Amino acid sequence: MTKTTAWNSLLLACAVAALLSASAAPARSAAPDVNAILTDLGFTKKELARVREGQVVVRSLEQLVGNQLAAVAAVYMEVPLGELRARFGEGQDIPLSPRVRAWAMPRLPIEPEDWKQAAFDPSEMNDVDELFDAKPGLDLNLSTGEFELVARELAGVAPADRVRAASEVYRKILQQRMVAYAEKGLSGIEPYDRGDGKKSSPAEALSVEWEAARELLTTHFPDFVKAVDSYPNDQPAGIINELFWVKENFESKFSKRVAFWLMHETWQVTDEWIVLSARQYFVGHTYSAQQALGLAVPFGDGVIVLNLMGFSSDLIDRYVPMIAVPIGKKIMRSEVTRYFEKVRDHPGK
């Protein structure tokens, strides 16, 4: 596998950039040359110059499979490497997205207080009604057992109680999925039921993307790779793992919805570099899974931050890929650019 192929395979995760908060651990090997990586990813000399000037530069990447979109973003930030930990750690980047309605880094075992805002409100009746009408297919990402749970819990609920009942059952699903992932990692992720006996596995999508990048990552970040490979077991010293739930607006010209998603961040912080995996292992609808790889390396008086990202969506197959993919790439580049401009300009605590 070539270096370019390995990096181009690091897809999966639109709109994530959380850059870290932890005690520094000793570097295991020298960090890769970020300029060489950017060149391998197709950045032109003019684009490299724009990055060094502090502009956000986003490029689309080749699709690994037909139901994925991918991009890479790079930006120079005039901030010491160590300050990134305090500025973006523990999910502090999450509310930078204007779409985020609520979020938390909940404790395990489950503490109900951490999940109070993981709920629908009366203005979101479209989402509530959708859950009452839930059935296997592409509209909702639920397992077979979760569809059955929703049907049981919501049967016979009075109209005045629909928001409360929908919130309770969906909160239960989110909690069960987080606990299963925290205990078993990828093997704890239930596949989505697409109907007619078809399943869609976010765990498989995440595994494919991660495996494609292991060779290059192992060269520079062996402890980090071991941590992601073996999570939740055998975590090396200096590795930080955090779990989040997020409620986000999903708006388009066709519909207005909210979605809940669950994210796992793994990072390693050293005096020479910061490396991050941000993985959305469950999302309520629209796409199936997201994976991002972030790398921050000192450059001049600041750092260059590089994020490879993308997402997989079964909905791409519902539309004409020749139309859906170019439109999706354009929207993705625009959204990512706006997000990273906020990340760049975020003053921190």
The residue that leads in pLDDT, 332 or 4, is 332
Residue 312 burial (C-beta neighbours within 10 Å; 0-12, 13-18, 19+): buried
Torsion angles phi and psi, residue 113, rounded to 5: -60, -35
pLDDT > 90? residue 215: no
- Identify the pLDDT of residue 98: 87
Query: Confidence band (pLDDT; 50, 70, 90) for 84?
Result: confident
Note the helical H segments in 200-317: 202-220, 222-230
Among 70-79, 122-131, 143-152, 246-255, which stretch is predicted with the lowest mean pLDDT? 246-255
State mean pLDDT over 64-92. Answer: 82
State mean pLDDT over 132-158. Answer: 97
State mean pLDDT over 140-154. Answer: 98
| CA Rg value for the chain | 20
- The 10s digit of each residue's pLDDT in 25-62 is 333 455 667 778 788 778 999 999 999 899 999 988 76
- Identify the pLDDT of residue 20: 28
Task: For residues 93 and 339, give the distance between their C-alpha atoms in angstroms, rounded to a whole number.
Answer: 10
- The 10s digit of each residue's pLDDT in 239-248 is 999 999 999 9
pLDDT > 60? residue 5: no
Task: For residues 295 and 137, give the distance between their C-alpha atoms in angstroms, rounded to a whole number.
Answer: 37
Task: For residues 295 and 288, give the distance between their C-alpha atoms in angstroms, rounded to a whole number.
Answer: 24
Whose CA is closest to 200, among 313, 279, 321, 309? 313
pLDDT > 60? residue 148: yes
> To 10 degrees, the CA torsion angle through 93, 97, 99, 101?
30
Note the helical H segments in 155-197: 162-184
- Identify the pLDDT of residue 86: 79
Domain ranges of the chain: 3-345
pLDDT > 60? residue 14: no
State mean pLDDT over 275-292. Answer: 93
| Proportion of the chain above pLDDT 70, given as a percent | 82
The residue that leads in pLDDT, 330 or 186, is 186
Among 5-9, 152-156, 181-185, 330-334, which stretch is predicted with the lowest mean pLDDT? 5-9
pLDDT > 90? residue 201: yes
The residue that leads in pLDDT, 168 or 256, is 168
Task: For residues 202 and 12, give the distance between their C-alpha atoms in angstroms, rounded to a whole number.
Answer: 11
State mean pLDDT over 1-6. Answer: 38
Q: Under a CB-based contact definition with an 8 Å cutoff, are residues 261 and 283 in contact?
A: yes
Instruction: Give one word for 300, left, alpha or beta, with left for phi > 0 and alpha for psi -120 to 50.
Output: left
- Identify the pLDDT of residue 31: 61
Please give the mean pLDDT across all residues of the chain. 84
